[in-house]
Amino acid sequence: MTIDELARETGMTVRNIRAHQSRGLLQPPEVRARTGYYGPEHVARLKLIQDMQAEGFNLKAIERLIEASDGGGQQVIDFGRLALSAFGAEEPEAITTEELTGRLAGDEPQALRRAERLGIIRPLGGDRWEVPSPTLLRAGEELVGMGVPVTHALAVAEQVQRHARAIADTFLRLFVEDVAHGQVGPDTRSSEEWTELAGAFDRLRPLATEAVRASFEQAMSAAIERQLESVLRG
């Protein structure tokens, strides 16, 4: 089928199909007499992209999964979908500049630029912004409401992000090296082995969450004790 027929079959625009192809998300067509022809494998790939987008995965994440599978390896793609959904992000919200300023930035416009650099907000064009984690924004809003300067709240957010990335990398390295034995690509695993690996990863979320929470509570308790001792001695 031609690209126009592929667009009708999948309900996508020709422009989007070409964009997916330029990003490497879609295999190139078979070219005959200067015309590209697409087959069932292209329909299946576009349906996969649509399904993953519907589940909240952005094109960058989808691109990485397809690259990791060397253009094939449905099992690794399925595993990637499960892995991303296990630690799935919140449903993002859209907000105007006026609302964002009123809730967080106040009279400090530079705060918006810093929040954007940290990924707390993303520009959608015009005066609209996407908030990937409404929970994080609400936490910042409450801190500001308590009298904490927005610059201090953003500095804390930056430190939390940095440490969170390090913790995430540590847990993922633990999983890859000790559970998956260094390989989560399209290797010679059987379907049963992939299922077991997916189940193991699914159990990682509560384990990681509980470990981080327990460690934070211990660290916070110790910090409070130190502060109280300092106050009493002073």
Confidence at residue 100, expressed as pLDDT on a 0 to 100 scale: 87
* Total H helices, total E strands in the chain: 10, 5
Confidence at residue 8, expressed as pLDDT on a 0 to 100 scale: 92
pTM of full prediction above 0.75: no
Rounded to 10°, the helix 14-22/3-10 angle is 100
Sequence-distant contacts of 96-105: CB under 8 A, at least 24 apart:
96/127, 96/128, 96/129, 97/127, 97/128, 97/129, 98/127, 100/129, 103/137, 103/141, 104/137, 104/140, 104/141, 104/144, 104/150, 105/150
Confidence at residue 183, expressed as pLDDT on a 0 to 100 scale: 62
CATH topology of domain 3-86: Multidrug-efflux Transporter Regulator; Chain: A; Domain 2 (1.10.1660)
Confidence at residue 55, expressed as pLDDT on a 0 to 100 scale: 64
CB 97 within 8 A of CB 64: no
Q: Residue 123: count other Cβ atoms within 10 Å of its Cβ.
A: 12
Tokens describing residue 215: 């460690």
Mean residue pLDDT of the chain comes to 83
Q: Residue 170: count other Cβ atoms within 10 Å of its Cβ.
A: 11
Where the chain has pLDDT below 50, the residues are 71-72
Q: Where are the domains of the chain?
A: 3-86
